[in-house]
Each structure stands twice: as C-alpha cells, then as structure tokens.
C-alpha cells in the first residue's frame, strides 16, 4: 500500500473497516480522545491488572541507567514514562510523546500527581518524530504501534532517533500461540470487551475498534521482520501470557 495520503483511492484498515489513509489518523484520535479519562481504569479491567506485569517486564528489559535519554512514544497516560524518569535520574531526560492531546493531558496530570513536574511532553506523530538523529539511548512504544497508519515509517523514524547502540522496545498485543487460548481470547475480545467499554466508559464502539485493531496487527515474526527492514539489528521477541502480548526489542548498531 502506498503511504500517499493525498490519493483518495489509497485505503488502510481501521479495525476491520477499510478507510481512506488520510482518515485513519483522525479516527484513531477520536477513539483515544473519547477514552482518555477512563483509559487506565479500562486497562486494569480489560487485563485483570496483568498489563502492569507486562509493563514491568518492559521496564526491566529496558535497563535504563542514570543519565540516559529516553523517548516514550505513544506514551499516553505516562506509566512507563514515570518509571523511566526514576531510573534515568536528574542527569538523564525522559520525554513523553503522543499524537493525542487528550491522552497527553491525562499523562501530564498523572505525572504531576506522582510529583513528577517539568518533564517534557511533546505532541508528535510516530511516523515523523520531531527529534534530531541519534538523540536517544532508548525509545519505547507501548500499545501504540497497532494504531499507527504507516508502521514501517514509524519504525524507521524511531530507529533514526536512536543513538548508535541504542535500543527500541515495542510492547504490543500479538497472536496467541495456542489455538485453544486464541478461541477463548476471541470470545473475550468481541463479546466482553465491548460490553465493558459500554458499561464503564460509555463507549462500546471504541472498544470494539480496539479488539479489531489487535487482530489486524502483524504477528510476532512479521513485526520482527519489519523491525529488521527498518534497520534494527539483534531483534528479539518475548511472548507474554501465551503470546497475547509480545515484546520486541531491536538495536541500532549503525556506527
């Protein structure tokens, strides 16, 4: 698919629906603007709290050291940002970025509630990050890549801003490894998830989209190949909860 947004004949998926490429970013923005205030509550409900274990795995894998520069792409409400900030310390810098202003507002508020103020918050598109080449030791994107229109462009953009030796970590829903688990997961995703969205967030449609977007996201090996095509090396895949979630890590080893 061409990434030319000006051509009305170019389409991409928004969940299971095909939409003009130019429209996807707007529609994703509307989804997350709708759910921003309930986002963390719904995460706890949807995952039975397991999302905290997945994120802890990312934090441990990232191995942020004092003085490092970190970019949290699609960082939303800032839970990863908060932990990275503690690890990088006053000598380092952590930037929270997201394309959605409502999510960034929630993130800034929640960081302030935890006593973290003055941390840079940048509204940015993952496909064309507004940072210089070789700016960061670590770039992360947690549960955001599947909502990006041009994932290949986003991966190239994230690799570009990595310092030589820097690492990219992608945390995302993926494909269950066991067929039996996949069947149970489908029932949960398409029946219970929209119902929870309706009852808790008063937004059934957005959570139906989220379930569909997970199914349209590349599987573990496909995403690994996309990372390699973007110039990342030593790419590894870590399956969590039977492959319902996968963590991908790759390095920018270019001199």
Both tokens of 156, joined, read 């190239």
CA pair distance 22, 14, nearest whole angstrom? 11
CA distances from 93 to 45, 86, 88, 164, 170 (A): 32, 10, 7, 17, 20
Q: Where are the alpha helices (DSSP H) in the chain?
A: 21-35, 39-47, 51-62, 79-88, 101-113, 151-160, 179-187, 193-200, 204-216, 220-229
Contacts of 210-213 with C-beta under 8 Å, sequence gap 24+, read 210/31, 211/15, 212/15, 212/16, 212/17, 213/14, 213/15, 213/146, 213/147
Radius of gyration in angstroms for the set of CA atoms belonging to the chain, rounded to a whole number? 17
What 48-53 contacts at long range (C-beta under 8 Å, 24+ apart), as own/partner pairs, is 50/241, 53/240
Question: Which residues make up each annotated binding site for S-adenosyl-L-methionine?
Answer: 77, 98, 125-126
Q: Give the three-state DSSP class for 129.
A: coil
Q: Which positions make up the binding site?
A: 77, 98, 125-126
Residues 6 or more apart whose CB falls under 8 angstroms from that of 222 comprise none
């Amino acid at each position: 698919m061409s990434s030319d947004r000006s051509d009305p004949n170019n389409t991409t998926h928004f969940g299971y629906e095909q939409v003009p490429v130019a429209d996807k970013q707007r529609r994703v923005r509307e989804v997350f603007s709708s759910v921003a205030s309930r986002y963390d509550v719904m995460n706890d409900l949807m995952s039975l709290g397991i999302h905290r274990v997945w994120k802890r795995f990312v934090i441990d894998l990232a191995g942020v050291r004092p003085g490092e520069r970190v970019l949290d792409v699609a960082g939303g409400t800032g839970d990863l940002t908060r932990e990275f900030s503690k690890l990088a310390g006053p000598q380092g810098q952590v930037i929270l970025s997201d394309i959605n202003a409502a999510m960034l507002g929630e993130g800034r508020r929640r960081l302030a509630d935890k006593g973290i103020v003055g941390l840079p918050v940048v509204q940015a598109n993952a496909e064309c990050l507004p940072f210089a080449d070789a700016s960061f030791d670590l770039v992360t994107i947690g549960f955001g890549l599947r909502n990006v229109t041009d994932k290949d462009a986003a991966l190239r953009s994230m690799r570009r801003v990595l310092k030589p030796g820097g690492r990219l970590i992608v945390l995302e829903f993926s494909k269950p490894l066991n067929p039996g688990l996949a069947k149970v997961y489908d029932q949960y995703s398409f029946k219970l998830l929209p119902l929870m969205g309706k009852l808790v967030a008063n937004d059934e449609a957005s959570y139906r989209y989220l379930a569909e977007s997970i199914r349209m996201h590349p599987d573990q090996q496909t995403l690994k190949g996309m990372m390699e095509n973007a110039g990342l090396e030593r790419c590894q895949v870590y399956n969590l909860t039977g492959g319902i979630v996968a963590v991908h890590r790759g390095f920018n080893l270019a001199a």
